Amino acid sequence: MALTGNKGEWSEIYTLLKLLGEGKVYAGDQNLNKIQNLFYPIIMILRQEKESSYNYSLQDKDVVIQTPQGEDLLRIPASVFLDEAEKLLKAINESDGAFSIPQIEAFMNRIYCHSLKAKSSDKTDIRIILHDHRTKINSEMGFSIKSQLGGDSTLLNASKATNFNFKIQGVALSDEDIANVNSLNPKRNKVIDRVDTIKEKGGELIFDKVDNPTFRNNLVMLDGDLPAIIAHLLLEQLNSGISTLKELAELITEVNPLGYDTEQASPFYAYKIKHLLTSAALGMMPATAWSGKFDANGGYLVVKKDGEILCYHFYDRNRFEDYLFSNAYLERSSTSRHEYASIIKEDDGTLSFKLNFQVRLK
């Protein structure tokens, strides 16, 4: 049966072929530009298939496929991998939805690669042994692959676990009022229209809690103020129409809703948001109790629209965090799911309104 996958899934195979073909990967800056004088030579890529593991070792101008015990199975010129990567890139750009690419699948079978996604239970998409010129050390790292060949990548998925609950205060709404607000479905933006209607009736959204206790605990472990900061980001997005986290952070820094001491001009909000983004990128998932350890301990590999691959290595933490902070934005999830953007009358008579926290990367 032919392998089928979307652009993001095929991008993982493209990354494998491209990196083996080029034998190195360049670092990127916060604006997705290649840093010409900073690259990492690739020593080996390790891949876990369903039945076995294979090592793709770079030796001279060849790729040598080996068993984990070091037995050579196949030697192919690296240039062949680069040619196959170019064919795959063309096919990805010409396809939509879920699709198969028989020519590439035939090459994959030849190189002992039988699935689109390497076996992994965490955020690691590819494991690479890189050489760092600065430390002179070869290190095995796990990277998460983010592809721009399809839609914008998700950094933190929307789910019921990412609901933020707000209490509606300052107004008494009848059952008819509630039904009218919940039925608002304009072409412009139903979430903004529903919130504006609540405000017009004299209501105010006051942050109550993160609904999911696991996500709440994960956030508090990172920083006790994060639940409140995210709540202010969600409200500011509705008030301003701005979605990028960097700009939203600047706005709430001016307002300073948590009352930090700003005499020293310390970047309280930006620092805490960067910490959250890094944790979500490399290990933390909302509905899973998090130990604080990073799964994708290497960082990110970004596949750009033109096929170039950039490395955001966690060793260069400041650059990695700046990339996330500059490219992350809030996306509103579907109002038909997760009890999102509807007024709910609680058993005690109070009224709740849920906003959902979902983050994507440009």
pLDDT average, residue stretch 24-50: 93
Structure tokens at 23: 């034998």
Q: What is the pLDDT of residue 335?
A: 64
More confident residue, 91 or 344: 91
User: 240-263 pLDDT, tens per residue?
Assistant: 989 999 999 999 999 999 999 988
User: 337-347 pLDDT, tens per residue?
Assistant: 667 788 888 88
- Model confidence at 147: pLDDT above 80: yes
pLDDT average, residue stretch 128-132: 91
DSSP at 69: T
Region class of 212: left (phi > 0), else alpha (psi between -120 and 50), else beta: beta
No. of helices (H) and no. of strands (E), the chain: 10, 16
| Contact criterion met (CB below 8 Å) for 25 and 310 | yes
Structure tokens at 100: 């198969």
User: 181-206 pLDDT, tens per residue?
Assistant: 888 876 567 788 899 899 999 999 99
Confidence band for 336, pLDDT divided at 50, 70 and 90: low
Q: CB-based contacts of 12: which residues, under 8 Å, 6+ apart?
A: 116, 117, 118, 125, 126, 145
Confidence band for 134, pLDDT divided at 50, 70 and 90: confident
Q: What is the pLDDT of residue 151?
A: 82
DSSP at 55: E
Q: Which helix (H) or strand (E) holds 204?
A: strand 204-210
Confidence band for 219, pLDDT divided at 50, 70 and 90: very high
More confident residue, 344 or 233: 233
pTM, 2 dp: 0.86
Backbone phi and psi for residue 189, each to the nearest 5 degrees, phi listed first: -165, 110
Q: What is the pLDDT of residue 123?
A: 79
Structure tokens at 99: 């699709």
Domain boundaries, the chain: 7-151, 156-292+327-361
> Across the strands, what pairs with 163?
356
